[in-house]
A and B are shown apart, each in its own frame.
Chain A
Amino acid sequence: MLSKTVAELSAALDRKDVSSVELTQAYLDRIEKLNPDLNAYITVCKEQALKQAAEADKQRAAGNGTPFTGIPIAHKDIFCTRDVLTTCGSRMLHNFVSPYDASVVERLQQAGAVTLGKTNMDEFAMGSSNETSYYGPVRNPWDSSRVPGGSSGGSAAAVAADMCAIATGTDTGGSIRQPASFCGITGLKPTYGRVSRFGMIAFASSLDQAGPLSKSAEDAALMMNAIAGLDSRDSTSLDHPAEDFTAHLQQSLKGLRIGLPRDHFTADLNPAVQTILQDAIKVLESLGASVTEVDLPHNHLSVPAYYVVAPAEASANLSRYDGVRFGHRAENPVNLEDLYKRSRSEGFGDEVKRRIMVGTYALSAGYYDAYYKKAQKIRRLIKQDFDEAFKSVDVILGPTSPHTAFKLGEKNADPVTMYLEDIYTIAVNLAGIPGMSLPAGMLQGLPIGMQLVGPAFSEARLLNVAHQFQLNTDWHQRRPEVK
């Protein structure tokens, strides 16, 4: 039962095969059993979840159900949850009980979802392996000596290990897609501005976007229906007509034009991953899609440009943590500067401090043109590359990550090595367009994801392609054997 999709669980709740209280209790039991090893959750909301489940059972019985009524979900610990600890993976917020709910949390609650708890993540979403969390690394359910990816690693591991039905995540440079790839699940980063950022702790405001980590493309579509749409409390939220993201799932792929970026399929990409992607492409071709090559000539500049834009915005966003109004405060400060400096130095981990300093440097007097402005210019070139490619193709297909999940400790000696992990995902954030990762195969017992990227507002089309692929393959149904 716990491995079922949201769509399947919703039908089971409707048929009264199971109640939400029973389902919630079963997930809570599994969390209790697995979390000591996997460390996917920072906080488990046992009592609140059972209360919400009982209420959801009443609502469904009264005929007031939505697809999410009574479905046990998890939120990345970057989303503020009223009266529940919200740490963002940081010591800085080890005592932060949020006074309000994020819009994403509020909308899913209104849809009747049951919140099981808050998932572990890289500190302030800065990382690609979940190793920067103050609360310890998350372990990959497929192999506990490996990382789950990051920064939404706790959400990805929780979905893959059936510790929730579906989870929320955020993606600033690949933080939904790369962990989805490493854990063998489906993850969608929507168009920038499609999902409200209100109450989502800010990392890089011009790149951050929330989205689902799920067991199927259909589930991702269901969650998008619940969370997407204009929010007056987020000034960058887009006023785009509402749509039913499940409406086109059944559409045929006849005539679909797929572009393969020449620079993604080079010697740098593991040959076994190439073979897996070629097999996936054959499946899509057999469903009526055609394939051509496309060029993204500035993709190699996406990581350098990102590591100016993201740290610069982070250095501004994280200036709010000063030990005065909330969060960690150093003991016995001798003066105000000492209060700021010690609270921040004790509260932040090494990677967060590094990025704040890189951003502070890039924005400091005399360097703005050489760094932030230059990066914004490259951002436009990257966006134009995608615009050009989408004149001849509907979606772009490539790898999500150059390889399968790596070992804990393998890549955290040098920050730049870790940054290059996101070489295939970062350009999508810089361009503001939607991208998703879905399971495409297995390599030595570990899942491999493929990435689909489309023009702005093409989420429904991406979900359609992913759903049709999942109707004809079973990679997304593979589950790790977790003891």
Chain B
Amino acid sequence: MALDNTDVEKIAHLARLQIKQPDIDEVTSRISNILTMIDQMQSIDTSAVTPMAHPFDATQRLRPDQVTETNQRDRLQQIAPATENGLYLVPKVIE
């Protein structure tokens, strides 16, 4: 599966990544090579196979709905790039 630069720019936007213009051809070519390798999957018919989401087909455990965590806000915010009054700061979203 070959992609063009526009496809790759769209994917980068979906992943919230920026690609510098001088690098775009190389990024596109490398991702295309990876997708070509992945396309070997299409060499076999799997229409009768059930997808395997977990090696042991296990389901998620449930626990009693009880509060077990203590509030560690101040501790956890010590490593945040920017906070104020216990809130995380980001650039203005609504004018």
Name A's B-contacting residues (CB within 8 A): 95-97, 99, 192-193, 206, 232, 235-236, 238-239, 298, 300-301, 303-305, 307-308, 315, 319, 322-327, 329, 333-342, 344-345, 348, 353-354, 356-358, 360-362, 364, 370-371, 373-381, 383, 414-416, 419, 430-433, 456
State the CA gap A96–B76 with chains docked (Å). 11
* Pairwise interchain contact A99-B31, C-beta atoms closer than 8 A: no
Q: Hey, which chain B residues are within 8 Å of A326, CB to CB?
A: 79-81
* Pairwise interchain contact B50-A348, C-beta atoms closer than 8 A: no
* Pairwise interchain contact B79-A334, C-beta atoms closer than 8 A: no
Can you list 11 A-B contacts (CB < 8 A)? A99-B75, A235-B60, A304-B40, A307-B34, A324-B90, A326-B81, A339-B90, A357-B11, A361-B35, A376-B53, A433-B55
* Pairwise interchain contact A354-B30, C-beta atoms closer than 8 A: yes
Q: Which of B33, B55, B60, B91 contacts A338 (CB 8 A)?
A: B91
Q: Is B82 an interface residue (CB 8 A)?
A: yes
Q: A356-B17, A456-B55 are in contact. Are A415 and B30 (CB under 8 A)?
A: yes
A380: nearest chain-B partner, CB-CB: B52
* Pairwise interchain contact A374-B15, C-beta atoms closer than 8 A: no
Q: Is B67 an interface residue (CB 8 A)?
A: no
In the complex, given contacts A304-B38, A358-B31, what are 18 additional A-B residue pairs having Cβ atoms less than 8 angstroms apart? A99-B76, A206-B53, A232-B63, A301-B41, A308-B38, A325-B76, A333-B91, A334-B91, A348-B17, A356-B17, A357-B11, A357-B17, A364-B14, A373-B51, A374-B41, A376-B53, A416-B33, A430-B55
B46: nearest chain-A partner, CB-CB: A377
State the CA gap A68–B29 with chains docked (Å). 49
B49: nearest chain-A partner, CB-CB: A377
Minimum C-beta distance from B28 to chain A (A): 10
Q: Hey, which chain A residues are within 8 Å of B44, CB to CB?
A: 298, 301, 378, 381
State the CA gap A431–B57 with chains docked (Å). 11
* Pairwise interchain contact B41-A308, C-beta atoms closer than 8 A: yes
Q: Hey, which chain A residues are within 8 Å of B2, CB to CB?
A: none
* Pairwise interchain contact B49-A236, C-beta atoms closer than 8 A: no
Q: Hey, which chain B residues are within 8 Å of A432, CB to CB?
A: 54-56
* Pairwise interchain contact B81-A324, C-beta atoms closer than 8 A: yes
State the CA gap A307–B49 with chains docked (Å). 19
* Pairwise interchain contact A336-B90, C-beta atoms closer than 8 A: yes
Q: Which of A236, A307, A360, A430 contacts B11 (CB 8 A)?
A: A360
Specify which of B30, B34, B53, B56 lies most central, judged by the most chain A CB atoms within 10 Å of its CB: B34
Q: Hey, which chain B residues are within 8 Å of A341, CB to CB?
A: 16-18
State the CA gap A377–B42 with chains docked (Å). 11
State the CA gap A344–B13 with chains docked (Å). 11
Q: Which of B27, B37, B61, B78 contacts A307 (CB 8 A)?
A: B37
Q: A206-B53, A353-B17 are in contact. Are A335 and B81 (CB under 8 A)?
A: no
State the CA gap A324–B19 with chains docked (Å). 21
* Pairwise interchain contact A371-B91, C-beta atoms closer than 8 A: no
Q: Hey, which chain B residues are within 8 Å of A333, CB to CB?
A: 91
Q: Hey, which chain A residues are within 8 Å of B80, CB to CB?
A: 324-326
A300: nearest chain-B partner, CB-CB: B40
Q: Hey, which chain A residues are within 8 Å of B63, CB to CB?
A: 232
* Pairwise interchain contact B33-A238, C-beta atoms closer than 8 A: no
Q: Which of A303, A334, A360, A430 contacts B14 (CB 8 A)?
A: A360
State the CA gap A323–B53 with chains docked (Å). 31
State the CA gap A360–B92 with chains docked (Å). 27
Specify which of B52, B81, B88 lies most central, judged by the most chain A CB atoms within 10 Å of its CB: B52
Minimum C-beta distance from A456 to chain B (A): 7
State the CA gap A360–B8 with chains docked (Å). 10
State the CA gap A88–B78 with chains docked (Å). 19
Q: A303-B37, A354-B27, A377-B46 are in contact. Are A238 and B90 (CB under 8 A)?
A: no
B14: nearest chain-A partner, CB-CB: A360
State the CA gap A307–B80 with chains docked (Å). 33
* Pairwise interchain contact A377-B91, C-beta atoms closer than 8 A: no
Q: A238-B56, A381-B49 are in contact. Are A357 and B37 (CB under 8 A)?
A: no
* Pairwise interchain contact B91-A336, C-beta atoms closer than 8 A: yes
Specify which of B43, B79, B82 lies most central, judged by the most chain A CB atoms within 10 Å of its CB: B79
Q: Hey, which chain B residues are within 8 Å of A370, CB to CB?
A: 42
Q: Hey, which chain A residues are within 8 Å of B72, CB to CB?
A: 99
* Pairwise interchain contact B12-A357, C-beta atoms closer than 8 A: yes
State the CA gap A84–B44 with chains docked (Å). 48
State the CA gap A308–B51 with chains docked (Å). 14
* Pairwise interchain contact B58-A323, C-beta atoms closer than 8 A: no
Q: Is B65 an interface residue (CB 8 A)?
A: no
Interchain residue pairs A-B with the least CB separation, the first 7: A432-B55, A376-B51, A329-B81, A380-B52, A377-B46, A377-B49, A340-B16
* Pairwise interchain contact A96-B79, C-beta atoms closer than 8 A: yes
State the CA gap A410–B40 with chains docked (Å). 25
State the CA gap A324–B80 with chains docked (Å). 7
Q: A357-B8, A374-B46, A415-B30 are in contact. Are A99 and B78 (CB under 8 A)?
A: yes
Minimum C-beta distance from A146 to chain B (A): 24
Q: Is B39 an interface residue (CB 8 A)?
A: yes
